[in-house]
Amino acid sequence: MADFSITRLDARQPDFDRQLDAVLAFDPASDADIHEQVAEIIAQVRRDGDAALLEYTRRFDRHDPVSAAALELPQAALEAAWNGLAPAVAAALETAAQRIRAYAEHQKMAPWSYTEADGTRLGQQVTPLDRVGLYVPGGKAAYPSSVLMNAIPAKVAGVPELVMVVPTPGGETNPLVLAAAHIAGVDRVFRVGGAQAVAALAYGTTTLPRVDKIVGPGNIYVATAKKLVFGQVGIDMIAGPSEILVISDGGTDPDWLAMDLFSQAEHDEDAQAILIATDAAYLDAVEASIRGLLPTLERAGVVKTSLSNRGALILVEDLDQAAAVANHIAPEHLELSVADPDALLGKIRNAGAIFMGRHTAEALGDYCAGPNHVLPTSGTARFSSPLGVYDFQKRSSVIFCSPQGSDTLARTASVLARGEGLTAHARSAEYRIVESAS
């Protein structure tokens, strides 16, 4: 453990911004080699279809299905997994599913319209996507919670067909993942992962149907593949490794916050875990907690490298400065571990999900609070939002012109069209002017 160290920064020092950016530096799709490798995988899947899927599954997942059809798990296997769960586990999965569904119901975009005095009616029609692909990660760990987080909003949106892909390293399926797919109403499940799964969802193979949009988190191969197929299909976001940022006023048990940092560090060696506090002695106490907890967590297999690589303890002047640093980082998860989180909330502009107060551990949000755990990472919370029902709905504008309304609008359109030099546009509008029709 002597090799363990965590970066300490002081936001009051002149070089702070540069030092912080060094901790934050991580571009999930910048590695040229990975980009090239993923582009090659996508090209192979486009060219060879199922044969390429089988070949990459053998190579990367050490799993040798007898045929492409064997990549698909029958609904009976999902149901059997659900029926085989211990009652307490089934109840926990059901509780999480209900809470995620209840939250998602609030996110539904609704159609609307309004009618003008001359009878012209303008509005918005909302339709679900026809078929979506759900990427459920499965390389280093299995994520039944991610099945629920991906599938339930799609169901609430009314998507008729949900196609899930999940790698099964060594051919081992995870019963909780299958059971979650069963209760979430996933229509088809394929045991394939990585860039090859993303390519198959984007372009289709004989066995695996092409979808309209691919959602869900994954490692750098998955993220890079999603970036490369965007345009052929929709994607939700390019999600990088997990992140947690905690703002503390020094009043929370240091062990609690040390464990909150570890809770995201354990996802990935590239995970980012940062604590900001107003009191140097408190940061010392949390660092001591981290060191105290490390041996037990290491024995349980929790990675510590991410706390060394992309962890930091930051001293700030006050909570206002803490909020400013948080807004610069724009974290995936932000815990406001302070006495009055509501007072701080209004100062937060950039964060995927905000966890309020000392008792709201981020881990509760990962599983069962209700809001989605698929969230913007790598600073993209500056411009994007959590996965939600709205990701599975599209809007179409609806325009109805009454005869009187089209007469009025045509006069305006005609002038503007002629201003643009577009004669056919102008004539098309002018046909609708009542006096010109007679």
Ligand X SMILES: NC(=O)c1ccc[n+]([C@@H]2O[C@H](COP(=O)([O-])OP(=O)(O)OC[C@H]3O[C@@H](n4cnc5c(N)ncnc54)[C@H](O)[C@@H]3O)[C@@H](O)[C@H]2O)c1
Ligand Y SMILES: N[C@H](CO)Cc1c[nH]c[nH+]1
Binding site for ligand X (CB under 6 A): 37, 60-61, 137-141, 143, 146, 167, 193-195, 217-219, 221-222, 239, 241-242, 267-268, 373-375
Looking at beta carbons only, is 260 or 366 nearer to ligand Y? Answer: 366
Pick from 251, 383, 265, 404: nearest CA to 330: 383
Taking the least distance from each CB to ligand X, the nearer of 60 and 282 is 60
The region that residue 239 occupies, defined by phi over 0 for left and psi between -120 and 50 for alpha, beta otherwise, is: beta
Nearest to 141 by CA among 217, 65, 245: 217
Q: Which is nearer to ligand Y, 149 or 315 (CB)?
A: 149
Choice between 49 and 331, CB closer to Zn ion: 331
Residues 145-204 that bind Zn ion (CB under 5 A): none
Number of residues that bind Zn ion (CB under 5 A): 1
Minimum CB separation of residue 392 from ligand X in Å reads: 16
From ligand Y, Zn ion, ligand X, none, interface partner of 183 (C-beta below 5 to 8 A by class): none
d(CA 235, CA 132): 10
The listed partner (Zn ion, ligand X, ligand Y, none) that binds 222, CB under 5 to 8 Å by sort, is: ligand X
List Cα–Cα distances, 117 to 303, 408, 411, 413, in angstroms: 65, 12, 17, 19
Ligand-binding annotation for 420, yes or no, is: yes
267 among annotated binding-site residues: yes
The least distance separating ligand Y from the CB of residue 261, rounded to whole angstroms, comes to 12
**Is there a contact between 224 and 296 (Cβ–Cβ < 8 Å)?**
no
* CB of 84 vs ligand X, minimal distance in Å: 23
Nearer to Zn ion, 146 or 207 (CB): 146
Catalytic residue (one of 332, 335, 362, 373): 332
> Would you tell me which residues interact with ligand Y (CB under 6 A)?
143, 145-146, 242, 264, 332, 366, 373
CA distance 163 to 177: 14
Residue 196 assigned ligand-binding role: yes
- Of the candidates 233, 258, 254, the residue with the CA atom closest to the CA atom of residue 244: 258
Is 332 an annotated catalytic residue? yes
The CB density around residue 296, as the number of other CB atoms within 10 Å, is 9
Q: Considering 63, 182, 333, 373, which one is annotated as catalytic?
A: 333
User: Closer CB to ligand Y, residue 194 or residue 376?
Assistant: 376
**Cβ at position 264, least distance to ligand Y in Å:** 6
Q: Binding site annotation covers 21?
A: no
Among ligand X, Zn ion, ligand Y, none, partner that 234 touches (CB below 5 to 8 angstroms by kind): none
Q: Binding site annotation covers 327?
A: no
CB 100, min distance to ligand Y, A:
12
C-beta of 248: minimal distance to ligand X in Å?
A: 23
Residues near 111 by Cβ (< 8 Å), separated by ≥ 6? 123, 124, 125, 126
Q: Which of ligand Y, Zn ion, ligand X, none does residue 120 bind to, with CB < 5 to 8 Å depending on kind?
A: none
Q: Cα 262 to the chain's mean position, in Å?
A: 20
Q: 219 a known binding residue? A: yes
Please identify the residue of the shown chain whose CB is closest to the bound ligand X.
Answer: 194
Q: Sheet holding 161-165: strands in order across?
A: 72-73, 188-190, 161-165, 131-135, 213-215, 234-235
Interatomic CA distance for residues 397 and 141, integer angstroms: 43
Please tell me the distance from the alpha carbon of residue 401 to that of residue 125, in angstroms, as a whole number: 16
Which residue in the block uniquely carries the two structure tokens 């996508």? Answer: 42
Q: What is the DSSP string of 290-324?
A: HHHHHHHHHHTT---HHHHHHEEEEE-SSHHHHHH
* Torsion (CA) 343, 346, 349, 352 in degrees, nearest 10: 70
- The beta strands (E) that lie in 169-310 are given as 188-190, 213-215, 234-235, 243-248, 272-277
The answer to whether the annotation marks 425 as part of a ligand binding site is yes
DSSP secondary-structure letter at 348? Answer: -
Q: Which of residues 364-383 bind Zn ion (CB under 5 A)?
A: 366
Nearest to ligand X of 37, 360 (CB atom): 37
**What residues line the site for Zn ion (CB under 5 A)?**
366
Q: Which parts are annotated binding residues for NAD(+)?
A: 135, 196, 219
Residues known to be catalytic: 332-333
Instruction: Give the residue numbers of the binding site for substrate.
Output: 242, 264, 267, 333, 366, 420, 425
Which residues does the annotation place in the binding site? 135, 196, 219, 242, 264, 267, 333, 366, 420, 425
